[in-house]
Amino acid sequence: MNRQEIDQLVKQMNVDTATGPVDTRVQQIVVRLLGDLFQAIEDLDISQTELWKGLEYFTDAGQANELGLLAAGLGLEHYLDLRADEADAKAGITGCTPRTIEGPLYVAGAPESVGFARMDDGTESDKIDTLFIEGTVTDTDGNVIQGAKVEVWHANSLGNYSFFDKSQSDFNLRRTIIADNAGHYVAQTTMPVGYGCPPEGTTQAVLNKLGRHGNRPSHVHYFVSAPGYRKLTTQFNIEGDQYLWDDFAFATREGLVATATDVNDAEAMAKRNVDKPFKHITFNVELVKESAQAPTTEIDRRRVSA
């Protein structure tokens, strides 16, 4: 069949058959995606077995709750960031901290504190470096944003995230820090280790077919928000990790690479109230004012909340 015949057939089956109220946006998208799928079946001569294997794959990926992971791994989530960047550029939005993907592992409801939070539950203190993260939230002119909400989450020494990894305590390595009167936030935590897709999982199965690995560099996620400003979804990825520029989820971006410096002088340790050398990362955040010119950065997606 040619495209005209395909589109005609899709319309006959899914548009002309409507007998009740139609969500025209859903109809538009379904019709387009079905037409594109039928066309791909034609062009690639996709067999019936291949088609059913594909549907079975989505069943399995959904049952494993890996569709969010798949979207990250295939670059769909990064592509949406590139589109959002384009829309920002068109709207004249510049100068703020770059966005990068949320990923599938955020959990709402983390403990909240002002200015400072200890993020780790202490169970890995003996086997991994302590990390202090600090920064200031400002607007694009450098004015501090008091009370900005800084949501931070990251992996443990095995690259695993609490909640999804049931061996960790509730909200381990997840906190909401309200920037103090100087727009400053400080987090005491442990050095994250890069995530790897579950080796026997559905996402890794596709990556294997593509000859790809499923690893991320060491990184820390952020949502930063304040009234009147566009919500920022971002992360920093840590210099020195072998996957820094080989991230299976394509989240590392210019402007989002952080260097962890070693701190081992007694005075600094005393000031931070720790008894061993630690790592330190500065991550300042610049938010841009809310704008009607660009699509909202408040993304509605299903997120767990604990």
Which residue ranges make up the site for ligand MBD (CB under 6 A)? 69, 72, 101, 103-105, 195, 216, 249, 251
> Which lies closer to ligand MBD via its Cβ, residue 38 or residue 171?
171
Q: Supply 169's token pair.
A: 């305590």
Q: Does residue 68 interact with Fe ion by CB under 5 A? A: no
Determine the Cα–Cα distance for residues 150 and 140; give it in Å rounded to an integer. Answer: 17
Say which entry of Fe ion, ligand MBD, none residue 72 contacts (CB below 5 to 8 A, set by partner kind): ligand MBD
Q: Is the dihedral of CA 97, 99, 100, 102 positive or negative?
A: positive
**Comparing C-alpha atoms, which of 238, 239, 241, 250 is closest to residue 214?**
250
Please state the closest distance from residue 201 (CB atom) to ligand MBD, in A: 11
Please state the closest distance from residue 301 (CB atom) to ligand MBD, in A: 13
Residue with tokens 């979207």: 71
Look up residue 169 and give its amino acid: S
Please state the closest distance from residue 105 (CB atom) to Fe ion, in A: 5
Distances from the Cα of 213 to the Cα of 93, 104, 154, 192, 199, angstroms: 35, 18, 20, 19, 10
Say which entry of Fe ion, ligand MBD, none residue 192 contacts (CB below 5 to 8 A, set by partner kind): none
> Which lies closer to ligand MBD via its Cβ, residue 152 or residue 288?
152
> Which lies closer to Fe ion via its Cβ, residue 103 or residue 201?
103
Say which entry of Fe ion, ligand MBD, none residue 249 contacts (CB below 5 to 8 A, set by partner kind): ligand MBD
Q: Where do the H-state alpha helices sit in the chain? A: 3-14, 24-44, 48-63, 67-73, 76-90, 202-209, 266-272
Say which entry of ligand MBD, Fe ion, none residue 173 contacts (CB below 5 to 8 A, set by partner kind): none
Say which entry of Fe ion, ligand MBD, none residue 251 contacts (CB below 5 to 8 A, set by partner kind): ligand MBD
> Which lies closer to ligand MBD via its Cβ, residue 195 or residue 243?
195
> Which lies closer to ligand MBD via its Cβ, residue 6 or residue 152?
152
Q: Does residue 214 interact with Fe ion by CB under 5 A? A: no
**95-134: which residues touch Fe ion (CB under 5 A)?**
103
Say which entry of ligand MBD, Fe ion, none residue 101 contacts (CB below 5 to 8 A, set by partner kind): ligand MBD
Query: Do residues 149 and 176 touch, judged by C-beta distance below 8 A?
Result: yes
Report the residue number whose CB is nearest to ligand MBD.
Answer: 103
Residue with tokens 């840590």: 238
Question: Binders of Fe ion: how many residues, by CB under 5 A?
Answer: 1
Q: At what angle do helices 3-14 and 24-44 cross, to 10 degrees?
A: 140
Say which entry of ligand MBD, Fe ion, none residue 119 contacts (CB below 5 to 8 A, set by partner kind): none
Q: Is the dihedral of CA 105, 197, 99, 293 positive or negative?
A: negative
Residue with tokens 């509730």: 170
Say which entry of Fe ion, ligand MBD, none residue 135 contacts (CB below 5 to 8 A, set by partner kind): none
> Which lies closer to Fe ion via its Cβ, residue 131 or residue 226?
131
CB neighbour class for 281 (10 Å; exposed up to 12, middle 13-18, buried from 19): buried
> Which lies closer to ligand MBD via its Cβ, residue 76 or residue 270?
76
Q: Supply 16's token pair.
A: 């002309």
> Which lies closer to ligand MBD via its Cβ, residue 138 or residue 234?
234
Query: Do residues 221 and 176 touch, judged by C-beta distance below 8 A?
Result: no
Residue with tokens 């592509």: 79
Residues within the interface to Fe ion (CB under 5 A): 103
